[in-house]
Amino acid sequence: MRALLTELDTVSTGPSLTKGPSTYMTTDSTTANSTPSVLFVCVHNAGRSQMAAGFLTHLAGDRVEVRSAGSAPADQVNPAAVEAMSEVGIDISAQNPKILTVDAVQASDVVITMGCGDTCPVFPGKSYRDWVLDDPAGQGVETVRPIRDEIKAKVEALIAELATRPTAG
């Protein structure tokens, strides 16, 4: 499925798997909940996905339900990611890497992968995006800062997009 995922900036709709200019989305159902839910996925759920979840939680508050998971979770969140996020006032130190489950994907409206390959299950009605980001694993905080800043910009764009989506109900 990895070949079907690409960097996305918008969400398209249609009766089946569709490809817009930069979008892939399955569209067989709609969410009954007016609060959108986002799942961030990376291999270890220790760096990129944790920073993205931290930014989305901090910037969107209760306007978005936030989840993160990994296909092969690490034992702890990357200390350099924790430090980099702390520098911008966001504490992710209490987070723990979690295993990616089918239930987490099914419960999410938007699934954003960050290098997990084809381990993410695909379901109708979900918007799938792949954010191409450097992996902070094993890197110092100096290397993690630009990754953090790129994630923040992508999350801000995601929030703006979600705010313009029509709500169900």
The verdict on whether 35 is a catalytic residue reads no
The verdict on whether 166 is a catalytic residue reads no
The verdict on whether 120 is a catalytic residue reads yes
Location of structure tokens 């709709």: 13
The residue annotated as part of the active site, out of 120, 133, 144, 151, is 120
Question: How many C-beta atoms lie closer than 10 Å to residue 112's C-beta?
Answer: 27
The residue annotated as part of the active site, out of 5, 8, 42, 110, is 42
The residue annotated as part of the active site, out of 38, 43, 80, 116, is 116
Residues ≥6 apart with Cβ < 8 Å to 152: 55, 88
Q: Say if residues 74 and 45 touch (Cβ distance below 8 Å).
A: yes
How far is it, in rounded angstroms, from Cα 95 to Cα 81? 11
How far is it, in rounded angstroms, from Cα 70 to Cα 151? 17
Residues carrying an active site annotation:
42, 116, 120
